[in-house]
Amino acid sequence: MEIVACDIGGTHARFAIASVEYGHVVALGEPVTLATADFAGLPTAWEAFAARLGRPLPRHAGIAVAAPIDSDVLKMTNSPWIIRPALIAERLGLESFALVNDFGAIGHAVAQLGDDAFVHICGPTDVPADGVTTIVGPGTGLGVAQLLRRAGHAHVIETEGGHIDFAPLDSIEDGILAALRRQYRRVSIERLVSGPGLAAIYAALAAIEGRAVLQREDRELWQAALAGDEALLNSTLDRFCRILGAVAGDLALAHGANAVVLAGGIGLRLADRLATSGFAERFAAKGRYEARMAALPVRLITHPQPGLFGAAAAFANGVSG
């Protein structure tokens, strides 16, 4: 059965044709990426995808949206698009569809993708067949989801775990928290473990050392940090990875997880850096539970379009729109 897979973010809307059979995604076609700023809303972007494809679109869809989906009107964080779930079928000419949060889609992707779609980060290499997997993905914000596998069934639980409080673990992070508290009354982990979080850590470390910093856009700052040519940025990136490790460990402990998956474009860019940054040590540093944490496998998803794959997987898994 062919369906449209759609992954709608604040900046881009991605589309592809997927094939699903017997509850699984068996193929995902070439993705088409459109800038949300170029379209008035989802219906016109949908038409543009159909025009690119050159044929009528299937009348079934899996749709992932970068917004909470528990209301009658979905408002995008970084886009003027507004989506009304009750009107999706009518406006897009669909007979059926699945609608999930964008990070819920990542959870569905993790549930169905094979081992070749992941790389090992730390802990054991064997992944338990059943139990809870914590999924953490730094991007524009910080996505968090749970995947419960039990007796051959997979259940995805969407959360807002990225908004829990940041807990510093040493005097440097005390200073980072103090710097951020001058801007925000409450500092969540998303303020640091996200794309914009690198700049926040960089500015705080510069202030601690009494340095002036050159103001750069987030993209430029990430490029410079990954290039590894500046000492302060090297320290900033290591600190980012260590905080990510601590956060991932906290979430896994809270979820009662027996495995962890890192997701998101930032995770992919950090794949080589995580092993040497102190991520694993911070992940496991949970006091009396250190041995338990060190026994959890941590993997990174490497599929190029997990949002699209997961939107299709949500449909295949019977998530109702």
pLDDT in tens, 123-136: 999 999 999 999 99
Q: For each of the domains in the chain, give its residue range(s) and CATH number, in order of start.
A: 2-113+304-316 (3.30.420.40), 161-301 (3.40.367.20)
DSSP at 56: P
pLDDT of residue 293: 98
The rounded radius of gyration (Å) of the Cα atoms in the chain is: 20
pLDDT of residue 214 exceeding 90, the answer is: no
Q: How many CB atoms lie within 10 A of CB 21?
A: 10
pLDDT in tens, 92-126: 999 999 999 989 999 999 999 999 999 999 999 99
**Taking 70 as the threshold, does the pLDDT of residue 320 lie above it?**
no
Binding residues: 6-11
SS (H, E, C) 21-33: ECCEEEEECCCEE
DSSP 69-119: -SSSSEE-SSS--EE-GGGHHHHHT-SEEEEEEHHHHHHHHHHH--GGGEE
Annotated binding site for ATP: which residue ranges?
Answer: 6-11
Global model pTM greater than 0.75: yes
